[in-house]
Structure 1
Amino acid sequence: MSHLAALRTYAVRAEPAKLPPSVYFSHTQATLTVFDTFPKSLFHFLVLPRPSPAPSGPSVLDLASLRSLLRTDPASARATLLALRQEALRLRDHIEAEMLARYGFRWDTWIGFHAAPSMEHLHLHVISADLCGPALKTKKHYNSFHPTAGFFLPLDHVLSLFDATPSYYDSFSKFNKAQYEPRLKQDLLCFHCGAPQKNIPALKAHLLHEWEQLRARTKWHLDHHAQQQQKRSLQLATATATATADAAIATATTPSAASAVPSAQKRKRQVGPDDDDGGELDDRQPKRCHLDRQPSQNAMDID
């Protein structure tokens, strides 16, 4: 099997789940997701469209490249790209979960095509935005994924073509290799900070340092946010407990109606022989003792 045609061989298989575990990741009726054999980042997958047996669906020839797909019926081409997008977004969720499990933080993921791919059959790259993979070894490798070099075409940009003017759609879909291939020869510039790098070893060391710095910054923010959340929860719990305690004190120290008004028999015993009313009962009620203190209403900023 020719290496250039390997992806096509995978895509036309009736039972893709029988591919080797080192190749196969998942599939749907319309797509097949495989591990990139030569990963350029810590996470690197390819999502392939599968040919449709239906007459209205894309054929193997239609799926040869992005250029050939965009030359088919626009509605059919768009449906194919949307199916790739749906699977790519699901895959991105899986990648982000793995990022957290392995490295303790998440970073960006790029989803797009090469303007002039080296392999046959359309394939969508889903690749973590670090370019720290073991197979990144040449200037061509790096510039083919540099997000602003112009060779890597984000999927959402390609989808926007269907809403563009017909002339722009036709012009873009030609994919003139002479227009794109010089971009692979551009200087090595860090996609994080733009700093020039003299060679690939220097670039890889610089990219790893940038990724480690990003990891440290992101984890610091995550830890700081968790500490702030814990602090706010403690403040809220303290305020609630204080309010509950104040309410209990107020209830306990406020006389009840039964204890505030002595019984008639007790009041008779309290009347002395020298009372001005000649021993008559004093009909005035004794003053009740009301607590001025109210349960505290602690206010705090919980933003």
Structure 2
Amino acid sequence: MTDSSYPIGIPGQPWGAEQIGEWRSRQSRQRRYGEDVVPRIDALAARYEKLAYGRLDYAGETYTLLALRDRAFDPALPTALVTGGVHGYETSGVMGVLEFLERHAAFYSGKINLLAVPCVSPWAYERINRWNYDAVDPNRNFRADGPAQEAVALIALIRSVEAGFLLHIDLHETTDSDESEFRPALAARDGEPYEPGEIPDGFYLVDDSANPQPAFQQAIISAVEQVTHIAPPDPRGEIIGSPVVAPGVIAYSLAELGLATSITGARYTTITEVYPDSPRTTPAECIDAQVAAVRAALDYALAHP
């Protein structure tokens, strides 16, 4: 595909309000945040404090942004943030947070303060899309004055937490639709040529190039490879255009790119990426991989505070 084949806009010209409106008109609700996610959060509220930390109102469609945290934050303990659904279409991120909370989080009670946000972008979750209602990618806009309401609300939640963060793990997916839809849409929106890329087959992590934690990343890779396969580097020694710094690990400058894992100042940060479209895995296995990553991240951080 080239930029001229995307059905919205004029090649070489960034979108304006008309093109964003046309893009928006093509987005249909395919699933329900209120049916898939909110009831599971409500069920967990018997064990955790449910926080309504923001509200989205997109053309009359409203979404309450929800988090769960330990009922008694102990200032003597470290604090961990677990997030999913920054990109709403990345299903195993949302389900991985919920699955971890339901099945494994109790093990960490009294060891670490947990704050979890299962679905940062509910409008995009319902449309199975990367962007929000305004055709903005929240995960390139995590700044307090940014254009993504989802990101601004999460930053405000983090700033309300008095304890410092030891860990932030953010659960993501890479899918075939990245290459068939979302990257071409990005090029069209920005008036730039579309350069085809490659989808890595397997799980990988994104470390922070400004604060590399190689042993932490390797501990997660070692746990996840017991569940699903790790993405190999391409012939250039890269994954999605970035050099592989260790098996299954690449590194970005998180703050420079405005990524979610830049907002806590945590010592340990990572972004997970699973590939549910691989013939070598299943959606259920990808959720299990996300849960294994969260557990390994917590275990390592607690052992190396």
**Structure of higher CA gyration radius:** 1
Query: Which is helix-richer, 1 or 2?
Result: 1
Q: Which has the higher contact order (CA 8 A, sep 6+)?
A: 2
